[in-house]
Chain A
Amino acid sequence: QSALTQPASVSGSPGQSITISCTGTSSDVGGYNSVSWYQQHPGKAPKLMIYDVSKRPSGVSNRFSGSKSGNTASLTISGLQAADEADYYCDSYTSSTTLVFGGGTKLTVL
């Protein structure tokens, strides 16, 4: 159950777009369309932003979008806002009937 690989940090200016990658293997990210993304602000519980690779829960801004190519999933945030500054985590279902998270990415809005 190795953690998925995410960049430790990304940054962008207000209004710009950023992309966070999440790399796994054919036994997790590449093998299933079961990748989710979460936003976590300091001291708060995580919030689901994307599920099943690219689906947005009700109430989540359409500035957030997800995609996948091979063993790498991506979260794109467009029209960056100060409120988007947070930690972002991906997760995936695995062939071992488990779930595994990425190490997390700290997004800084400059």
Chain B
Amino acid sequence: EVQLVESGGGSAQPGRSLRLSCAASGFTFDDYAMHWVRQAPGKGLEWVSGISWDSDSTGYADSVKGRFSISRDNAKNSLYLQMNSLRAEDTALYYCAKGVYYDLGSGFASWGQGTLVTVSS
């Protein structure tokens, strides 16, 4: 059974940083792209960032480009999201999601339960 467990969320002041982690199990981690998707309270889904199976290809939403950085450690079956220069509008539940394929070109086959990030002064 696929399991994705996010951690690292919490409260941060605007301008500060947080690092999210996602521990994956139940599948061959380095066979799939991985993504971060967020959902602000009461709002819809927003793709944040994705990374291919071999880390060769990454992508970012315009809203986070230059501030967030995605990475993965296939030896540890882990996905990360370094979030810098946080803004109030980054407040959301952040989901770790397993890609359908090895590249960024398709959707999200499995989802974690999310970790909440709150940015407020």
Contacts and interface: CB of A to CB of B under 8 A. Distances in A.
Nearest to A92: B107
Contacts of A101: 44-47
A36 B111 CA distance: 14
Contacts of B110: 48
B106 interface: yes
Chain B interface size range:
20 to 34
Contact of A34 (B47, B62, B107): B107
Contacts of B106: 34, 36, 51-52, 93
B102 interface: no
Interface string B34-50: 01010000001111001
Contacts of B35: 99
Tell me which of B45, B100, B104 has the highest count of chain A C-beta atoms within 10 A of its own C-beta. Answer: B45
Given A98-B61, A99-B59, A48 B108 contact: yes
A89 B37 CA distance: 13
B45 A36 contact: no
A34 B105 contact: yes
B85 interface: no
Contact of B107 (A40, A91, A96): A91
Interface string B103-121: 0111111111110000000
Interface of B: 35, 37, 44-47, 50, 57, 59-62, 95, 100, 104-114
12 contacts: A1-B61, A32-B105, A34-B106, A48-B109, A48-B110, A51-B109, A57-B109, A91-B107, A98-B47, A100-B47, A101-B47, A102-B44
